[in-house]
Amino acid sequence: MGGNIKIAFSFLFLTALGLIFLWLGKLADPGFSDFPLRGGDSKQYAQSALNLLHYGQFSLSSAPPLLPDAFRTPGYPVFVALIFAVFKSFFAVSIAQIILQGFLVALFYRLVLRFFNRRVALLAAVLLMLEPSMIIYSTWLATDT
């Protein structure tokens, strides 16, 4: 990676993290008391992750007997379970997703740079960084991230 590309990569990564963390600060509002569990899907992924950790079974059931889940794929619940196992918090899952989103913006810059000039790549990465659903969903427990 050239010097200018490293600088742009770092700038985009850190700026994306900053924007998302600003949104995360908004989540301290009492209206977001169930953060990062937003809606049914979030709670189902959390339940699946807890069942994987506590019972070693992939299930949406909230109590034994645990019925197998054939509706969801296990990849994201395993990701959630691994982070929850280490940090004992779904908030930590949000932080991990925020970091991944920061890398996504920087990697998107690198991808666009392969096909276009630096100005176009930077513009595309900045537009991705400012896209509201990217900022919001990266903080929720959801596969949309």
| 17-30: pLDDT as tens digits | 787 777 766 665 55
pTM: 0.77
Residue 119's pLDDT is: 92
Question: Which of 8, 112, 36 has its CA nearest to residue 45?
Answer: 36
Nearest to 126 by CA among 5, 26, 13, 6: 13
Which tokens is 46 given?
A: 């959390």
Q: Which of 21-25, 41-45, 118-122 has the lowest mean pLDDT?
A: 21-25
